[in-house]
Amino acid sequence: MKRLSGLLVLALALAGVMAAQSGLMITGAGATFPNPIYSKWFDQFHKANGTQINYQPVGSGAGIKQVTDGTVDFGASDGPMNDDQLKAYKTKNGVGILHFPTVLGAAVPTYNIPGVTGSLNFTPDALAGIFLGRIARWNDPAIANANKGVNLPANDIVVIHRSDGSGTTYIWTDYLSKVSSDWKDKVSKGTSVNWPVGLGGKGNEGVTGLIKQTPNSIGYVELIYAAQNKIPYGTVKNLAGTFVKADLASVSEAASGASKTMPEDFRVSITNAPGKNAYPISSFTWLLIPEKFKDAAKRDALKNFVKWAITDGQGDVEALSYAKLPKEVVDKELKALSKVQ
């Protein structure tokens, strides 16, 4: 709360300064996961076009709420808005809201087992079983069969998950819901869920900290966080039956695999996507842009930004460990931009 109000005060102060400097000021709020690349994009866009975009990384849920309430010009979310949220938006604002994928992220399993140094292979059944609490020991056949030659101890598994609401949790639980009907019935997917077992850590750093402190633990973090902090992580068996290690290429391939069946509104989950080397726990992150703007200048500037971000802007994403959008998706989005009026 304190931090939120602090941010608000800061944002207001900044808004005052900016308004005095230049004419156009666009505000957005939402997901924290794409914040590093968004900040970079907004900065570059500002330098090139003079349009100031002020983005508050307050979380996907808060982003959806703020854009629905009309307190910001656009929102951003790691999970697509559900039908209820879309309906609520339409009731409140009279028009619809559109989803535009910007970059891709992934969640990876990371663990701390004394004596095991190599990368472990995880089958969907093993992951679902561990997180449901059914697979209680590391030497369970469901894990051991996929890791021949690794000396897994007979110790109890300690599950670590995110305690704060998070897009990473959404991706993780979305995947588990797809591969395990038990998970779907008992827990389902969301940014916060009622975990059957385990300890909660706040943020990627909280989960990582707990895993490092707890022998025989397993948890999940964002790929970008694992990559930047050189945290080792395991591979996951995808729909095609290959054990895939998450990296920029395998995440992008998951997006290409899913793009053939991409719906018109881009609200698609690409977890467990087809494709030989597709990493199965991947996801888009979206900008949420209203269909109609009262202010034509704002609308044009925002459309210009999206167009630039999904084309030229994609050149910057890999340096920050995000995966690029596949070309098919970009083409489709460019067409969809005309729906914003």
Contact stretch for other proteins (CB under 8 A) within 195-203, 226-234, 276-284, 309-317: 195-203
Least Å distance between CB 323 and other proteins? 23
Torsion on CA atoms 217, 173, 306, 72, rounded to nearest 10:
-100
Q: Give whichever of 121 and 191 is closer to other proteins, judged by the CB atom.
A: 191
Given 195, 225, 293, 305, the residue binding other proteins (CB under 8 A): 195
Q: Are 253 and 278 in contact (CB under 8 A)?
A: yes
Should residue 290 be labelled a site residue for other proteins when binding is judged by CB under 8 A?
A: no
Give the x-and-dash track for 201-240 against other proteins (CB under 8 A).
Answer: xx---x--xx--xx--------------------------
Should residue 1 be labelled a site residue for other proteins when binding is judged by CB under 8 A?
A: yes
Q: Give whichever of 61 and 275 is closer to other proteins, judged by the CB atom.
A: 61
Least Å distance between CB 314 and other proteins? 27
Contact stretch for other proteins (CB under 8 A) within 18-26, 91-99, 144-152, 197-205: 197-205
Should residue 326 be labelled a site residue for other proteins when binding is judged by CB under 8 A?
A: no
Q: Give whichever of 168 and 259 is closer to other proteins, judged by the CB atom.
A: 168
Closest CA to 282 of 327, 218, 314, 238: 238
Pairing of strands 74-77, 25-30: parallel
Least Å distance between CB 11 and other proteins? 15
Should residue 163 be labelled a site residue for other proteins when binding is judged by CB under 8 A?
A: yes
Q: Give whichever of 158 and 262 is closer to other proteins, judged by the CB atom.
A: 158
Least Å distance between CB 123 and other proteins? 25
Should residue 165 be labelled a site residue for other proteins when binding is judged by CB under 8 A?
A: yes
Given 66, 112, 123, 166, the residue binding other proteins (CB under 8 A): 166
Given 43, 69, 156, 295, the residue binding other proteins (CB under 8 A): 156
**SS3 readout for the chain:** CHHHHHHHHHHHHHHHHHHHHCCCEEEEEECCCCHHHHHHHHHHHHHHHCCEEEEECCCHHHHHHHHHHCCCCEEEECCCCCHHHHHHHHHHHCCCEEEEEEEEEEEEEEEECCCCCCCCEECHHHHHHHHHCCCCECCCHHHHCCCCCCCCCCCECEEEEECCCCHHHHHHHHHHHHHCHHHHHHCCCCCCCCCCCCEEECHHHHHHHHHHHCCCEEEEEEHHHHHHCCCCCCEEECCCCCEECCCHHHHHHHHHHHHCCCCCCCCCCCCCCCCCCCCCCEEEEEEEEECCCCCHHHHHHHHHHHHHHHCHHHHHCHHHCCECCCHHHHHHHHHHHHHCC
Should residue 35 be labelled a site residue for other proteins when binding is judged by CB under 8 A?
A: no
Cα angle: 305, vertex 310, 313; to 5 degrees? 75
Should residue 269 be labelled a site residue for other proteins when binding is judged by CB under 8 A?
A: no
| Sites for other proteins among residues 45-104 (CB under 8 A) | 58-62, 64-65, 84-85
Least Å distance between CB 193 and other proteins? 6
Q: Give whichever of 88 and 249 is closer to other proteins, judged by the CB atom.
A: 88
Question: Which residues are at the interface with other proteins (CB under 8 A)?
Answer: 1, 4, 58-62, 64-65, 84-85, 156, 158, 163-166, 187-195, 198-202, 206, 209-210, 213-214
